[in-house]
């Protein structure tokens, strides 16, 4: 089947894009990281039938799970179902998603010589299925809400590629930064170039806003973050916009979410991203003071708070939203929603965001 990235339905609810650009909104927009996930029984049903990466690679299945939270909750954005680890796959690395364990690379990068195994030629062609899912999703959404594309950031991808999966410390990857700085920089640059082309491809396919996940920033020091993460995050923003401009494609807002890097909010506010995603460790008013008025903030309820009573969730959410204020703000959790979260808590969260300024 051919998916044509044109004649998309007109966007009806553009509150999230307006918030990202700093324009006035009718209501505070809200979406949730991992909003398509195992806390939804209909998601578990799809996953019972199909392997994780099969869902990613089959546009009809990816669109089905992307639509699931949109059907259930009054959300202001959708995010295409995929994973950050599709990039290492496209570079030739094998990645499995093991139930109850998470991602596993049977053959991680064990030595700097292994970097030569990576094959960036044709990587974007091998990721065409993500573009196809995005295009089909734009048609399926009928303009209800905007669609996010996303990518992992270079340091986070490098970490998984070296550790061979999740890690409590990322110590092997960190020792590359220390003992093989130059080779680490080469790897981070290689990833940056692929990421830029991947993001441009997603926008061409129909993504209306982009989020860059630097989820493993939490494992490195501020000094390492400034040396090995920030420059590449900046390059991604600049080069993606340059390439879109050159091809006469309208720019889309860009979000940077660096979990565990709240020590560097001032530095992040200089990267030129429209939106900074906050994890739950930072106070909304403190964050606003540090970044100034010209960037949108996104976040940041602790996902664990969704295990509290509905009354407590209402109170915490309302307080948070009122601290951020109505302008230049997108409500979200401070990280992904977790599998055991009661569905009712998600409804309470979303509806409380929308009513936070009603009186």
Ligand X SMILES: Cc1c2[nH]c(c1CCC(=O)O)Cc1[nH]c(c(CCC(=O)O)c1C)Cc1[nH]c(c(CCC(=O)O)c1C)Cc1[nH]c(c(C)c1CCC(=O)O)C2
Residues that bind ligand X (CB under 6 A): 33-38, 47, 52, 79, 81, 83-85, 97, 102-103, 150, 166, 213, 215, 259, 336
Query: Smallest distance from the beta carbon of 56 to ligand X, in angstroms?
Result: 8
User: Nearest Cα to 127, choosing from 153, 151, 106, 110?
Assistant: 151
Q: Among 18, 21, 27, 38, which one carries the catalytic annotation?
A: 38
User: Nearest Cα to 109, choosing from 38, 184, 8?
Assistant: 184
Q: Which is nearer to ligand X, 153 or 200 (CB)?
A: 153
Residue 332: in which H helix or E strand, if any?
A: strand 329-333
Whether 3 is catalytic is: no
Residue 68: in which H helix or E strand, if any?
A: helix 59-72
Residues 6+ apart with CB under 8 A from 254: 209, 210, 211, 212, 237, 240, 241, 273, 274, 275
Q: Which is nearer to ligand X, 46 or 353 (CB)?
A: 46
Whether 34 is catalytic is: yes
Q: Which is nearer to ligand X, 129 or 323 (CB)?
A: 129
Query: Smallest distance from the beta carbon of 171 to ligand X, in angstroms?
Result: 17
Strand order in the sheet with 78-79: 78-79, 147-152, 209-213, 254-257, 275-277, 296-301, 329-333
In the chain the first and final C-alpha atoms are separated, in Å, by 50
Identify whether 136 is preceded by a cis peptide bond (ω within 30 of 0).
no
Query: Smallest distance from the beta carbon of 210 to ligand X, in angstroms?
Result: 11
CB < 8 Å & 24+ apart, contacts of 6-13: 8/138, 8/139, 8/143, 8/206, 9/138, 9/139, 9/141, 9/142, 9/143, 10/143, 11/143, 11/145, 11/146, 11/208, 12/143, 12/144, 13/76, 13/144, 13/145, 13/146
Cβ atoms of residues 357 and 322 within 8 Å: yes
Name the residue with the smallest CB distance to ligand X.
215
Whether 138 is catalytic is: no
Query: Smallest distance from the beta carbon of 193 to ligand X, in angstroms?
Result: 20
Q: Which is nearer to ligand X, 214 or 267 (CB)?
A: 214
Token duo for residue 127: 């990721």
Whether 185 is catalytic is: no
- Helix (H, G, I), strand (E, B), or coil: what is residue 2? coil
Query: Smallest distance from the beta carbon of 150 to ligand X, in angstroms?
Result: 5
Whether 160 is catalytic is: yes
Q: From CA 160, how far away is CA 108, in angstroms rounded?
A: 8
Q: Which is nearer to ligand X, 35 or 348 (CB)?
A: 35
Query: Smallest distance from the beta carbon of 81 to ligand X, in angstroms?
Result: 5
Token duo for residue 241: 């916009």
Q: Among 39, 57, 76, 160, which one carries the catalytic annotation?
A: 160
Q: Among 34, 57, 138, 237, which one carries the catalytic annotation?
A: 34
Q: Which is nearer to ligand X, 189 or 338 (CB)?
A: 338
Q: From CA 56, how far away is CA 54, in angstroms rounded?
A: 5
Q: From CA 301, how far away is CA 244, in angstroms rounded?
A: 33
Q: Among 39, 57, 76, 83, which one carries the catalytic annotation?
A: 83
Q: Which is nearer to ligand X, 89 or 288 (CB)?
A: 89
Query: Smallest distance from the beta carbon of 354 to ligand X, in angstroms?
Result: 20
Catalytic residue positions, numbered: 34, 38, 47, 83, 160
């Amino acid at each position: 089947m051919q998916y044509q990235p044109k004649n998309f339905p007109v966007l009806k609810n553009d509150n999230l894009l307006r918030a990202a650009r700093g324009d006035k909104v009718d209501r505070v927009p809200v979406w949730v990281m991992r909003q398509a996930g195992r806390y939804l029984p209909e998601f578990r049903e799809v996953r019972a039938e199909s392997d994780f990466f099969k869902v990613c690679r089959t546009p009809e299945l990816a669109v089905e799970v992307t639509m699931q939270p949109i059907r259930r909750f009054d959300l202001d954005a959708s995010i295409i179902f995929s994973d950050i680890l599709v990039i290492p796959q496209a570079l030739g690395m094998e990645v499995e998603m093991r139930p109850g364990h998470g991602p596993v690379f049977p053959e991680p990068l064990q030595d700097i010589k292994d970097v030569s195994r990576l094959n960036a030629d044709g990587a974007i062609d091998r990721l065409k299925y993500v573009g196809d899912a995005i295009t089909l999703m734009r048609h399926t959404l009928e303009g209800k809400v905007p669609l996010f594309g996303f990518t992992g950031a270079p340091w986070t991808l490098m970490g998984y590629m070296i550790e061979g999966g999740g890690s409590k410390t990322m110590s092997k990857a960190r020792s590359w930064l220390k003992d093989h700085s130059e080779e680490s920089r080469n790897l981070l640059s290689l990833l940056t170039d692929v990421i830029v082309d991947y993001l441009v491809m997603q926008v061409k396919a129909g993504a209306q806003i982009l989020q860059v996940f630097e989820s493993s920033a939490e494992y490195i020091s501020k000094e390492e973050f400034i040396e090995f993460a920030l420059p590449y995050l900046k390059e991604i923003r600049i080069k993606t916009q340059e390439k879109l401009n050159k091809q006469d494609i309208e720019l889309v807002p860009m979000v940077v979410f660096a979990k565990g890097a709240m020590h560097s909010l001032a530095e992040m506010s200089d990267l030129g991203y429209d939106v900074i995603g906050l994890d739950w460790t930072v106070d909304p008013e403190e964050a606003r003071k540090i970044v100034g008025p010209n960037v949108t903030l996104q976040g940041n309820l602790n996902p664990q708070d969704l295990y509290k009573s509905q009354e407590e969730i209402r109170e915490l959410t309302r307080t948070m939203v009122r601290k951020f204020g109505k302008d230049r703000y997108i409500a979200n959790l401070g990280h992904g929603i977790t599998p055991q979260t009661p569905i009712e808590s998600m409804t309470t969260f979303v509806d409380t965001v929308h009513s936070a300024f009603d009186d």
